[in-house]
Amino acid sequence: MGNDKIIAFDFNAERPDIHRLLMPMPEFHRRYGLWIINASTAGRSPVDGFHACRPRKFEFYSISHLIDGAGRCWIDGRGECEMKPGQLVAVSPGTLNRYGGDCGRPYVEDSIRFTGPVADMLYHSGVLRDGICEFGTARKLLPIAELIQDPSNDAQINANITLQKLLVDLYFERRRSSGAPPVEELLEAIKSRPKHWWTVEEMAEFCNLSPDQFRRNFRQHTGMLPKSYVEEFKLRQAAELLVSTALPVSEVAGRLGYRDPYHFSRRFKNFSGISPERYRREFPNFAAPR
């Protein structure tokens, strides 16, 4: 955040405000696992409202898109920084935060609040996280705000899916802006050469990193160790070939760089829990004529 500064919150000096979830989740949304509670469009906080805002916690997820004015945001553990139109702040349940107008200007926002196990999954997997990110000037929350006004199940499903896609798009935008392109390029190279067994040294050299730096960056980007990723990619390719072709198991193994079909069969069983032959029997090519 550049000129961010970390501010420690003194619980003894001031109790945070709690913004509570007062309504039970509707049955339809409980079954789906995601509930967009409400939305506001072009909401306006007072001029310099940040300084009047007490530290607070939400019992739900909140995303706020600054569409006009100026802002300042503080999130516990992440610091304080200025906000400008086109930025979005995301806050998870239980996270101390405050944000609002700054520099003599109001904070004008489109915002959405939501909850449910699907949101929790997105948060714990790292797709959704606390903080500020670039969101652009287009008012992308408006379609969701309009959809949730329609109580029909179809509209609610559409709103949920639109929100999920938006959060996933944000995740990939953060990844693109985090200096990860060398790893992205490497993944494309791995996919283009399914027969090749990449060494860690080769992959590190491709990304112009030391092996130790590369391992850290690769794991941060994929959640996996480099060699584990290479082999799992091969085994997933093998699973597709077993289902979609009639190639002998030995040829499937050879296409993916396994010189010994028996070694391939053992590795495939470790991956899938069953042998290649049984995998093919359990998941036949349903599109093939009988």
DSSP string, 110-141: EEEEEESHHHHHHHHTTSS-SEEEE--SS-TT
Q: Note the pLDDT tens digit of each residue in 55-84.
A: 999 999 999 999 999 999 999 988 899 999
Q: Higher model confidence: residue 287 or residue 113? A: 113
209 — pLDDT class (breaks 50, 70, 90): confident
DSSP symbol at 258: -
Q: Note the pLDDT tens digit of each residue in 235-290.
A: 999 999 999 999 999 999 999 999 999 999 999 999 999 999 999 999 886 544 44
For residues 126 and 63, what is the distance between their CA atoms, to the nearest angstrom? 15
pLDDT at 48: 80
Q: Is the pLDDT of residue 4 over 90?
A: no
CB 123 within 8 A of CB 155: no
Q: Note the pLDDT tens digit of each residue in 143-163.
A: 999 999 999 999 999 999 999
For residues 142 and 148, what is the distance between their CA atoms, to the nearest angstrom? 10
Q: Return the half-sphere exposure (C-beta side, CA atoms, 13 A cut-off) of residue 59.
A: 10
Quick one: what percent of the chain has pLDDT higher than 90? Answer: 76
**pTM of this structure:** 0.71
pLDDT at 45: 86
